[in-house]
């Protein structure tokens, strides 16, 4: 009666129903798992019902033998896959967790996530599942999901405290650890989705500190060489980072107050570090500063600080 209407006691009653079914025994639990859609929402069915039924405590309490345990697990996995199909946003991760011990069910759950990724899932849900996949020991699948998550993301130039930044840094670190090919595949996605200069420069710095491919995927050989910012794929990232610093500088200067001058000079110092990674970076940076001095010569105090620091 309350399946499609909100009721504050519903969650408590769902738990109570599972407790009652456990008291009655195996057949009652199988019954509520098989007819879940008449009783529960997909989220309730995966996160409360199936999770409780599959818990170690329930198995012990019912003193089930192996065939009975398998019957219960099979019903729970079927429920999990049905829920993931119906509501991938809220049930995909629970479905993967419930299907972990069965290879075919786990593969099916993973495929449901991939199919739903382009339409029904947010970047934050996909990043969460990608991290779960890495934790389970599937780095290449994790990379695929992280790449899909990147296509849903848009980080503007001034969003340097965005909650997704840690996920972006993690996805780039994962790609870098897998090897040059994965890094080359994710960098265009990063360049398209991330316009925040400080985040891009952080990614660039991390990619130049160690050689790619340190995850040691079986059957792959890695050269162990550091990557050059003058060659693909890092060249594209370097160019995007420099552009982001230039665009952000102009955006900041449009509405800057004297109390932010010190912070702005520090921002330019960070920009210089990135410019200097390019072969002709010192020339590019000098031209950039000259342009600023010309365009914003009306901001005398600020341009005096710029001259003091950068000549």
Instruction: Work out the average pLDDT over 69-84.
Output: 97
Long-range contacts of 127-132 (CB under 8 A, 24+ apart): 127/164, 127/167, 127/170, 127/171, 128/93, 129/92, 129/93, 129/96, 130/171, 130/174, 131/167, 131/170, 132/93, 132/96, 132/97
Could you please report the per-residue DSSP string of 96-158?
HHHTTT-HHHHHHHHHHHHHHHTTT--HHHHHHHHHHHHHTT-HHHHHHHHHHHHHT--B-TT
Six token digits for residue 93: 């991760």
The answer as to whether 241 is a domain residue is no
Query: Tell me, what's the pLDDT at 120?
Result: 81
Helix residue spans in the chain (DSSP H): 10-24, 26-34, 36-39, 42-44, 51-53, 56-62, 66-86, 88-98, 103-117, 123-135, 139-151, 165-178, 180-193, 197-209, 234-254, 261-275, 281-295, 300-310
Model pTM score: 0.91
CA distance 236 to 251: 22
Decide: 140 and 155 in contact? Cβ < 8 Å: no
Query: What's the mean pLDDT in 3-27?
Result: 94
Indicate whether 272 belongs to any domain. no
**Mean pLDDT, range 84-113, rounded to an integer:** 97
> Is 201 domain-assigned?
no
109-118 pLDDT, tens digit per residue, is 999 999 999 8
pLDDT of residue 6: 82
Residue 134 pLDDT: 97
- Range of weakest confidence among 57-61, 149-153, 242-246: 57-61
DSSP-derived letter for residue 41 is -
Residue 220 lies in a domain: no
**Cβ distance 94 to 120 under 8 Å?**
no
Q: Would residue 78 count as lying in a domain? A: yes
Cβ neighbours of residue 301 closer than 8 Å, sequence gap 6 or more: 258, 261
**Structural domain boundaries, residue 111:** 10-121
Average pLDDT over residues 274-280: 95
Q: What is the mean pLDDT of residues 63-72?
A: 94
The pLDDT value given to residue 219: 61
Confidence grade of residue 182 (pLDDT, cut at 50, 70, 90): very high
Q: Would residue 127 count as lying in a domain?
A: no
Q: How many domains does the chain have?
A: 1
Give me the percent of the chain exceeding a pLDDT of 90: 87
pLDDT category at 40 given cuts 50, 70, 90 is very high
Tell me phi and psi for residue 226, to 5 degrees: -70, 150
> Does residue 218 form part of some domain?
no
- Give residue 215's pLDDT band: very low, low, confident or very high (50, 70, 90): low
Residue 222, pLDDT > 80, answer no
Please check whether residue 184 lies inside any domain of the structure. no
pLDDT band at 218 (very low <50, low <70, confident <90, very high): low
pLDDT-based confidence at residue 223 (cuts at 50, 70, 90): low
Q: Yes or no: say if 152 and 187 are a contact pair by the CB < 8 Å rule.
A: no
């Amino acid at each position: 009666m309350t399946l499609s209407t909100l009721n504050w006691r519903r969650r408590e009653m769902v738990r109570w129903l599972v407790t009652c079914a456990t008291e009655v025994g195996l057949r009652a639990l199988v019954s509520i798992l098989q007819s879940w859609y008449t009783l529960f929402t997909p989220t309730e069915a995966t996160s409360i019902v199936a999770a409780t039924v599959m818990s170690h405590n329930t198995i012990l309490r019912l003193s089930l033998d192996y065939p009975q345990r398998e019957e219960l697990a099979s019903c729970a996995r079927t429920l999990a896959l049905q829920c993931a199909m119906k509501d991938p946003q809220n049930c995909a991760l629970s479905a993967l967790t419930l299907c972990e011990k069965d290879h075919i069910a786990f593969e099916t759950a993973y495929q449901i996530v991939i199919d739903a990724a382009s339409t029904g899932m947010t970047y934050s849900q996909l990043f969460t599942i990608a991290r779960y996949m890495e934790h389970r020991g599937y780095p290449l699948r994790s990379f695929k999901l992280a790449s899909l998550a990147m296509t849903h993301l848009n980080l503007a130039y001034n969003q340097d405290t965005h909650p997704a930044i840690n996920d972006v840094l993690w996805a780039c670190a994962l790609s870098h650890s897998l090897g040059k090919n994965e890094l080359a595949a994710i960098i265009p996605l990063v360049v398209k989705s991330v316009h925040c200069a400080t985040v891009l420069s952080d990614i660039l710095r991390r990619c130049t500190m160690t050689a790619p491919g340190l995850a040691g995927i079986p059957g792959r050989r890695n050269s162990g060489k550091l990557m050059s910012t003058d060659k693909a794929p890092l060249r594209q990232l370097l160019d995007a980072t420099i552009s982001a610093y230039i665009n952000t500088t102009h955006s900041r200067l449009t509405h800057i107050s004297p109390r932010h001058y010190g912070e702005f000079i520090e921002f330019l110092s960070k920009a210089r570090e990135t410019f200097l990674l390019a072969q002709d970076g010192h020339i590019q940076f000098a031209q950039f500063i000259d342009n600023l001095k010309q365009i914003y010569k009306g901001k005398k105090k600020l341009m005096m600080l710029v001259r003091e620091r950068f000549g």
